[in-house]
């Protein structure tokens, strides 16, 4: 079982630093480790160091859209991936033009937040698309009130497929809430499993739940079966 963090296990907050699991959800996730053959695996766009501060280290963690991973009980290694230095100044100058927007640096991944300035979405995206990202092995992806600048290989779908290649006899389940989770949902389905989308939006998922609380209730019901 693969689970996104923000918007799936915990409600999205106005400030990413304020997002955390409820004690009940944390207890449930730990209980699931005893029932599942593999997982739950928390797969997130957050930096692995940040993610590891918010969930028990007894869980398998995948951060940075698959670029960094930590097995249960394992301390995350130091990240050696960095955003291309040549793009730093242009990106900083660009963001300074949009009041209320800021960049969150997650090792080699950059998340440009515009939750405090929703009207900036279209011009901000247009400006980011002018950066020579492709020349440096990067691409732009829209998320939930963010635009992410991701290096090639940062892909939740690829991460899920790589994990499942080690466990070909198991059936994967992916639960997520954002466009950045869709690749992992599709990968789970292609491997004979299924996917659940949390909240609104177009999706490839088989099923849909409305809120993180619904996810917790779903997992709790599944545990009792």
The pLDDT, as a whole number, for residue 108 is 85
CB 215 within 8 A of CB 181: no
DSSP code of 135?
A: G
Give percent of the chain with pLDDT exceeding 90: 78
* Residue tagged 């394992």 (tokens): 74
For 86, other C-beta atoms within 10 Å of its C-beta total 10
> Domains in the chain, start-ordered, CATH in brackets?
2-76+154-224 (3.40.50.1000), 85-151 (3.30.70.1020)
C-alpha separations of 65 from 68, 106, 139, 183 in Å: 8, 10, 13, 11
Q: What is the pLDDT of residues 149-182, one digit of tens each?
A: 989 888 999 999 999 999 999 999 999 999 999 9
Q: What is the pLDDT of residues 117-136, one digit of tens each?
A: 999 999 999 999 999 999 99
In the predicted model, what is the mean pLDDT of the chain?
A: 92
Q: What is the pLDDT of residues 26-62, one digit of tens each?
A: 999 999 999 999 999 999 999 999 999 999 999 999 9
CB 147 within 8 A of CB 124: yes
Tokens describing residue 169: 């006899």
């Amino acid at each position: 079982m693969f689970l996104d963090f923000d918007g799936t296990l915990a409600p999205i907050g106005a400030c990413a630093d304020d997002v955390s699991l409820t004690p009940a959800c944390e207890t449930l996730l730990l209980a699931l480790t005893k029932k599942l053959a593999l997982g739950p695996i928390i797969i997130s766009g957050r930096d692995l160091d940040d993610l590891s501060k918010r969930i028990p280290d007894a869980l398998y963690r995948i951060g940075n859209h698959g670029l960094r991973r930590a097995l249960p009980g394992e301390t995350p290694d130091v990240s050696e991936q960095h955003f291309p230095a040549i793009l730093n100044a242009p990106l900083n100058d660009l963001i300074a033009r949009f009041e209320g927007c800021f960049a969150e640096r997650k090792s080699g991944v950059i998340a440009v937040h515009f939750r405090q300035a929703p009207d900036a979405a279209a011009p901000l995206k247009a400006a980011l698309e002018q950066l020579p990202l492709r020349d440096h092995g990067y691409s732009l992806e829209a998320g939930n009130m963010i635009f992410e600048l991701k290096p090639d290989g940062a892909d939740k779908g690829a991460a899920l497929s790589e994990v499942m290649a080690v466990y070909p006899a198991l059936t994967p389940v992916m639960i997520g809430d954002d466009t950045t989770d869709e690749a992992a949902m599709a990968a789970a389905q292609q491997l004979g499993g299924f996917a659940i989308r949390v909240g609104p939006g177009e999706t490839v998922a088989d099923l849909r739940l409305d809120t993180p609380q619904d996810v917790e209730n779903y997992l709790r019901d599944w545990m009792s079966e």
